Amino acid sequence: MKTFILSWCIVLCYSVNAQSNDDMTDTRRKTETVLKIQQKDMRSELASFTMAGIDESVGKGDIYKIPFTAVGPNFMTFEGDGMKATVSTALFVPTKHKLDYDEKYLIKIDRKTYYGGYGKVPKNYVNKVTMVIGKDSIAIPPTAYSDLYNLNFSYLNSGAQKSTNGIYRSKDGHRIYLYIFCKDNTGSYEVTWVFIDKVYLRRVLDYGFM
């Protein structure tokens, strides 16, 4: 756990703070944050690997992690212990979407708020998230990722590409977490897709911490 906390501190030291514009309307929500989770075991497990839960992570045990096994410009794959997940992105084409502005700042895409590079036209969007547990493909609704943009699968740290992304599993095996951290100097965010007993439950999303 100490190693994990130290790694996050290094990330913070090398981060560029997200652009702040007091006159820009912010339509993003804080209703999906780690700190809103009421279920004790789930919140404790999320705190052990998320950035938003780092203040609650002291004294928590490490949670089993499956790191990424393959990565490319537009995808990252995780595989191990009978599980396989892939997160992929596609090029964002502005002319194919309705863009709502507050003066010069982009605040909604297709009439919905969005995460990643908030205020500016994004370069890419998350177009697919898949999870297979055992022999079962888990259905994940597009609403769980369709508002996520400018996803970077890794970040530069001391000249090397790093990633904290992974599949995390509770000790009892009932809860599975697919975690992605997007470090971006126009607005970083982290998202965790939560599965219980091979069923997609919800996502947990935090932003604006760097």
Q: Which residue, among 9, 32, 1, has the nearest Cα to 115 in the 3D structure? A: 32
- pLDDT tens across 23-46, in order? 788 999 899 999 999 999 999 999
Q: What is the DSSP string of 175-193?
A: EEEEEEEE--TT--EEEEE
- pLDDT tens across 113-143, in order? 999 989 999 999 999 999 999 999 999 999 9
The model scores a pTM over 0.75: yes
- pLDDT tens across 5-22, in order? 434 443 444 343 334 455
| Paired tokens of 153 | 């699968």
Q: Is 32 exposed, middle or buried (0-12, 13-18, 19+ CB in 10 A)?
A: middle
- In DSSP terms, 133 is beta-bridged to 83, 136
If phi > 0 it is left, if psi is from -120 to 50 it is alpha, else beta; for residue 63 that is beta
